[in-house]
Each structure stands twice: as C-alpha cells, then as structure tokens.
Amino acid sequence: MGRRRKPKAKTYELNIESLSHEGRGIARFEDKVIFVSGALPGELVIANRTFSRAKFEEADVRQVLKPTDNRITPKCDVFGICGGCSFQHLSSEDQIQVKGDWLKDALANQAKVEPKTWLEPLQVQSWGYRRKARLSIRYVAKKDKVLVGFREKKSSFITNMSRCEVLHPSIGEHLEVLADCIERLSIKSSIVQFEVAIAENNTVLTLRHLEPLSVKDEQILADCAQELDITFYTQSGGLDSVKPLDQPVVLTYSHPNHDIVMEFLSTDFVQVNFKLNQQMVDLALELLELNESDEVIDLFCGLGNFTLPIARHAKHVLGIEGDLGLIERAKYNAQKNNITNVDFYKADLFKEVAGFEWFRGKTYNKALIDPARSGAVEIVELLPTLGVKRLVYVSCNPATLARDTLKLIESGFTLETAGVMDMFPQTAHVESIALFTR
C-alpha cells in the first residue's frame, strides 16, 4: 500500500450530523462526506482537511465553535495526537451508549434482527485499566532524546508523552523513567519496542532489541527494574528468543468467583482489562445457565479463560484453540486448579474440522465462541451438527458478529439477548456478548 499523500491545505466550517463506527464525526460539505476526528454529533466545528478522495475527505478538529452538552475535557495532554485513544472528549457513560448503538445498528442493518432483550452494559473502570500493550521506542538523534509511547494517529512517529492514562499505573505513570533508562543504553538506537504484560502479581516489559546488550546495558536495565518494581525480559529475534534479564517471574490473573488462578506468559494473549474480564466471564456463565449434566464446547478457547470457569459448573467441557502454546498453558492451568472434567485440543477453526476426534459423532448441548475480529463464520454453520442448543458468542467486532448472527439464524438459532461491554474505554473498540438458542 502506498503512503498517503498530504492533500492541499483546506479549512472548513462543518455541522456534525452523526458519529462513524470509528468514533469520528460525520458531516457533509460540497457533496462530500467528511469524517472529522475529535468532533461529536450536533457540534459546529472548524476542521482542517487531512485526506481527500473523490467521495469523502478526512479532517481534524481545529476549533469547536458550538460544543454539545456531553463534550468533556480530555484527561490526557496528548489526546488528538496519540493514536491510542479516540474518545476522551466523551464521558465513559456516553461512550458505552454510543457503542451499544453501533451494535444495534450492525445487527439491524446486516442481520435484520434485534434480540428479544438488551443487556445492561458492563462497565468497571475507565482509566488505568490496560494491562497488555505494545509501546514503541525510538531514539531521535536530532533531539538526542528517546521517546516511549504509542504512535501518533495515521503516522509512524511516536507520540512525545510523559504518561498514559489508560495504561495500568505501574507503567502508565513511568514512561519518562523508561525513556531515560533506554537513553542510557549503548544500543539505544537499536531498541524498537516494549511488550507490556501487567499481571495481578507482577509487571513484565519485554524489550525488543536489534543489537546485543552489553553488560553495562543489562545493569542499567536491572537498576531501572528495581526502581519501578518491574521485571525486564529481552527479545533479540523471534518469540523463542524471549528470556528474562535476570530471574523469571510467574504472571497470573484470577477468577475469584470460581476459585481459579490463571498463569500466562508475557507473550500470551489475555484480555487487557482484568476486572471487566471477571465480570464478562461471570455474565457468560449466567447466560449459559450451566448445570451438572451439561456437555459444553468452548471454541477459540485460548488458555482457558472461559473454559475453566465453565468446568466448575458443568459435567464436561472441551476447549478448542489453534495456538499450541495456549493449549499447553490451558492444560497446565486446568491441572494447577485441580479441574479434571475438561479436555483441550489444537485445531484451526478456520479450516475443515469434520475429521477431528472431538467432532466425529460428538454432541455438546451448549457452546461458547470467542473468536478474533474476523469472526467465526466457518464454525457457526457446524454448530447444529454438534447438537448445540444454547450458544454464547463473545465478539470484539460488531460487523462480524452481525454477519455470523445471520448464519446462526439461517441454521435455526434465535437471538435471545445481546449487549456491550467496556473492555477498552476511551477507544472505539466494541466488545459485545450475545445469547442464541435453538
């Protein structure tokens, strides 16, 4: 894909009519649709054009002439510059309302359906919630300065930021300390990123470096780790090169309502918002209406985030996941938590699965699906064959949930209830959950 060419300078006065699914204001000017970052419906703004095509243009707000009543002052000093957040000018309560509207629109427009009932939105904390992230690092020679942070909007540049309000405070409040640490390294120009993994018990930063660290470099990192009470891991190549700078640590999160503690690696996928995750799992189990006779299948199970809590309340649970490493961790976590009524299998759920042992002639009366953004259209069509009567679908993309909802309805399922969950406050990311019965 070619780089965007900067359009000729243009400033316009716009009435914002609605909000796009990326959180941008929508206006019309000279027969063109204008997507305006930082604008809200009902506002009159002055905006600068940033991108132009035949039928639409993009712009950034320069001045709000007539704000809406629900506009608030962003908490972050670099909001509008940093690409990490898009919604800080709207209260958290209004954000989740907007996300609920997006889910309703997706289901109505794509699947031509709405649930029998709508769930109340799940919200926990709006700031300092994010425990997994990738922070870019760059040494800017002209300024003799190291930057640590998220990239700027639509740019490869790193935002010059001293703190991050959505990152967990163990890292979000110490970006300047981390930048100063990297600045003292002999290979500072070869450090490209931090992988952040903040557990309930430890904080790990995995340092991606393109040149070997010297003994002095390792001591600088060790001193920084002690100051911030964190642990550095290093990565010189692929994932197999990840190793602790000093001693390894165990990372955990918990499901206290189900007496489960989950161990994970710093490179594993886990939900970024632990408190919301706990409530999400509780809600999923409530919707499944589990009992001791249930045979449940958990598709895209990861390291068993839903699988193990389900197993506490069902006869037997089967977890299916395409990542072998996550399957190994899921089995380990089952053993560690003394859960014996669960099995895990590795399978690519985007390919043919009819030949697998867990599919041939097997039946499961209940199921949970938690796929990636691309959805699960390949597998939802097979659920009737597996005998599934009750399905909970957890989604991170309303568009693919709506697409898969249509397939489920065609397969005889009914959409009973649905709702949104605020997994990523201050962003346009929408997490949702839906219950289907057949």
pLDDT value of residue 378? 87
pLDDT value of residue 5? 62
Rounded CA separation 158/110 (Å): 37
Binding residues for [4Fe-4S] cluster: 76, 82, 85, 164
Q: Indicate whether 331 and 232 sit together in one domain.
A: no
CATH of the domain at 218: 2.40.50.1070
DSSP state of 241: G
- 432 in the Ramachandran plot: left (φ > 0), alpha (ψ -120 to 50) or beta? beta
Q: What is the rounded radius of gyration, in angstroms, for the C-alpha atoms of the chain?
A: 24
Q: Indicate whether 317 and 178 sit together in one domain.
A: no
pLDDT value of residue 4? 56
Give the residue from 211, 329, 188, 345 showing the smallest Cα distance to 270. Answer: 329
- Taking only the tens place, the pLDDT of each residue in 344-401 is 999 999 988 888 889 888 899 999 999 999 999 889 989 999 999 999 999 999 999 9
Q: Indicate whether 288 and 432 sit together in one domain.
A: yes
Q: Tokens in use for 2?
A: 């070619």
Binding residues for S-adenosyl-L-methionine: 271, 300, 305, 321, 348, 370
Q: Can you give the three-state secondary structure of 45-93, one letter per residue?
A: EEEEEEEECCCEEEEEEEEEEECCCCECCCCCCCECCECCCCCCCECHH
Residue 363 forms part of a structural domain: yes
Read off the pLDDT of each residue in 264-271 and give the average, rounded to a whole number.
96
DSSP 347-384: --TTS--TTSTTTTT---SEEEE---TT--HHHHTTTT
pLDDT value of residue 22? 84
Q: Indicate whether 221 and 281 sit together in one domain.
A: no
Taken as a whole, the chain contains a residue count of 438
Among 217, 251, 285, the domain-final residue is: 251
Q: Indicate whether 104 and 59 sit together in one domain.
A: no
pLDDT value of residue 290? 98
Residue 83 forms part of a structural domain: no
Pairing of strands 414-421, 117-118: parallel
pLDDT at position 109 over 60: yes
Which pTM was predicted?
0.94
pLDDT value of residue 354? 80
Binding residues: 76, 82, 85, 164, 271, 300, 305, 321, 348, 370
Q: Indicate whether 414 and 286 sit together in one domain.
A: yes
Q: Tokens in use for 362?
A: 């097997």
Q: In this structure, are residues 252 and 200 in contact, taking their beta carbons and an 8 Å threshold?
A: yes
pLDDT at position 307 over 90: yes
The torsion of the CA quartet 254, 267, 232, 167, rounded to 10 degrees, works out to -60
Q: Tokens in use for 202?
A: 């430890």
Q: Indicate whether 222 and 342 sit together in one domain.
A: no
pLDDT at position 6 over 80: no
pLDDT value of residue 21? 85
> What is the domain extent for residue 347?
96-125+273-437
Q: Tokens in use for 281?
A: 């799992």
The strands making up 203-209's β-sheet, listed across from edge to edge, are 145-149, 132-140, 191-198, 203-209, 231-235, 243-244
**Count of domains observed in the chain:** 3
pLDDT at position 335 over 50: yes
Q: Indicate whether 61 and 198 sit together in one domain.
A: no
Q: In this structure, are residues 309 and 281 in contact, taking their beta carbons and an 8 Å threshold?
A: yes
**What positions carry a catalytic annotation?**
396
CATH of the domain at 9: 2.40.50.140
Residue 207 forms part of a structural domain: yes
Rounded CA separation 255/250 (Å): 17
Q: Indicate whether 329 and 376 sit together in one domain.
A: yes
Among 71, 88, 105, the domain-final residue is: 71
Read off the pLDDT of each residue in 395-408 and give the average, rounded to a whole number.
96
Q: Indicate whether 406 and 313 sit together in one domain.
A: yes
Read off the pLDDT of each residue in 15-24 and give the average, rounded to a whole number.
91
Residue 89 forms part of a structural domain: no
The proportion of the chain whose per-residue pLDDT surpasses 90, expressed as a percent, equals 90
DSSP 378-414: HHHTTTTTTT--EEEEEES-HHHHHHHHHHHHHTT-E
Rounded CA separation 388/384 (Å): 6
Which of the pair, 297 or 23, is modelled with greater confidence? 297
pLDDT value of residue 1? 42
Q: How confident is the model at residue 153 (pLDDT cuts 50, 70, 90)?
A: confident
The proportion of the chain whose per-residue pLDDT surpasses 70, expressed as a percent, equals 99
Q: Indicate whether 193 and 106 sit together in one domain.
A: no
pLDDT at position 230 over 50: yes
Q: Indicate whether 430 and 284 sit together in one domain.
A: yes
CATH of the domain at 374: 3.40.50.150
- Average pLDDT over all residues of the chain: 95
